[in-house]
Amino acid sequence: MKEYASRLMSRLQSTEKSEKADAVYITDPYNMRYISGFAGGEGALLITQERCVLITDSRYTEAAQNESDFEVIEESRKHRREAILQEICQQQAVQHIAYEDLHLTCAAFAKLRKALPEISSWIPAGEEVNHLRRVKTAEEIALLQRAEAIGDAAFEDLRKILKTGMTELEVAAELEYFMKKHGAERLSFETIVASGPNSSMPHAVPTDRKIQRGDFLTMDFGCCYHGYCSDMTRTVAFGGLEARQTEIYETVLQAQKTALAVIRAGITGEEADRAARDIIEGAGYGECFGHSLGHSVGLYIHEDPRLAPGAEDVLEPGMAVTVEPGIYLPGYCGVRIEDLVIVTEDGCRNLTSSPKELLIFD
């Protein structure tokens, strides 16, 4: 884990910024976990040229010592975080601290500056810390694969019991139960289950609406395994669909398959998005695909780079991205299909194995 700390320090020192950081202060729980291994989320890291310090309180001290190779210092009312930071900064003659401006609140930053008046510059780290997490290691990919397999297994269990008359809330509860049963630690985001006309809302909240014949049912769900997130969406149908619904489903499926076929290292996020968007626009539904094609996934559900209009980031082998085109017609229906894939030199490896041809239930 100290390896990530030293990579981060090198990154911060090689930037164009006028002042070079001689320490970095980390408070984002996902970055804290990535860099130090500590999963508790409450605390902070201070990394200097010579010390890697993890500050947390007594609720987490033992876990932090087990999970991290950082030097753990316990904060308390008698030994406050600001005092600990000051001691380290004085001992190490720290002058320039990089901080997570994307995460720290204005109030927390003001408090920090006041507590450490001798620091001559505070350097906003911007995307530099998150950037470390973009390309996944083999170990991270194995955890993402396991998390996605839990989602697949839960969806397989759900297919055995899915029927008209179930409410959206019941479906969400079953999916969540099945994911936990298969080893999920927690959800990676709030489960989306949307039936019939509700499916036109991409991020619908499950309701007590009962599934009826003629409905689409969109389920977007995910869990965490050793901190790593899964994310998948499947849309299924109940009873007789109208011809237009089938056409919408097939368009989304074709858009998704087309994007999967073009994703590879070297293309931009915009190019990936464009591949799917062209199919949807060509079918006359361009205005009905408001969100972007996908996002990266890791310790957090929505990471960079994105697959989106205007996304100039070039995909690299080892990036984990979702591919989730959709068509939404308010008051009528919606369809989304989402897989999680790993970018490779010459294509991508799909971590999601659930069927996506249109499944029709009674």
* Residues lying near Mn ion in the complex (CB under 5 A): 220, 231, 233, 322, 338
Closest separation between CB of residue 107 and Mn ion, Å? 31
Residue 189 binds which entry of ligand GLY, Mn ion, none, CB below 5-8 Å type-dependent: ligand GLY
Contact with ligand GLY (CB under 6 A) among 28, 148, 231, 303: 231
Which of ligand GLY, Mn ion, none does residue 109 bind (CB under 5 to 8 Å by kind)? none
Give whichever of 73 and 351 is closer to ligand GLY, judged by the CB atom: 351
Site string for ligand GLY, 104-133 (x = CB under 6 A): ------------------------------
Give the H or E element holding residue 71: strand 71-74
Would residue 274 be called left, alpha or beta, if left means φ above 0 and alpha means ψ between -120 and 50 degrees? Answer: alpha
- C-alpha span between 49 and 357 (Å, rounded): 54
Give Cβ neighbours of residue 138 (< 8 Å, ≥ 6 apart): none
Among 74, 79, 39, which residue's Cα sits nearest to residue 58? 74
Q: Residue for token digits 């530099």?
A: 128
Q: Which of 22, 168, 220, 303 binds ligand GLY (CB under 6 A)?
A: 220
By beta-carbon proximity to ligand GLY, the closer residue of 80 and 203 is 203
d(CA 74, CA 72): 7
Q: What are phi and psi of 165, to 5 degrees?
A: 95, -25
**CB-wise, 100 or 324, nearer to Mn ion?**
324
Q: Considering Cα of 253, then 192, then 334, then 291, what sign does the dihedral take?
A: negative
Q: Of 271 and 324, which has the nearer Cβ to ligand GLY? A: 324
Q: Is position 271 an interface residue for ligand GLY (rule: CB under 6 A)?
A: no
Binding mask 303-332 for ligand GLY (x = CB under 6 A): ---------------------x--------
3-state helix, strand, coil in the chain (%, to 5): 35, 25, 40
109, 189, 332, 361: which one binds ligand GLY (CB under 6 A): 189
3-class SS of residue 181: helix
Least spacing, CB of residue 45 vs ligand GLY, in Å: 28
Q: Which does 280 bind (CB under 5 to 8 A by kind): ligand GLY, Mn ion, none?
A: none
**CA 247 to CA 250: how far, in whole Å?**
5
- Comparison of 112 and 229: residue with beta carbon closer to ligand GLY: 229
Instruction: Give the other-Cβ count within 10 Å of 258's Cβ.
Output: 19
- Which residue lies nearer to Mn ion by CB, 4 or 300? 300
Using DSSP bridges, classify how beta strands 294-296 and 228-229 pair: parallel, antiparallel or unpaired. Answer: unpaired
Q: Six-digit token pair at 102?
A: 């994307």
Nearer to ligand GLY, 46 or 337 (CB): 337
Q: How far is the CB of 249 from Mn ion (least distance, A)?
A: 17
Which residue's CB atom is positioned nearest to ligand GLY? 220
From the CB of residue 3, how many other CB atoms can be counted at a distance below 10 Å?
9
Site residues (CB under 6 A) for ligand GLY?
Answer: 189, 192, 220, 231, 324, 338
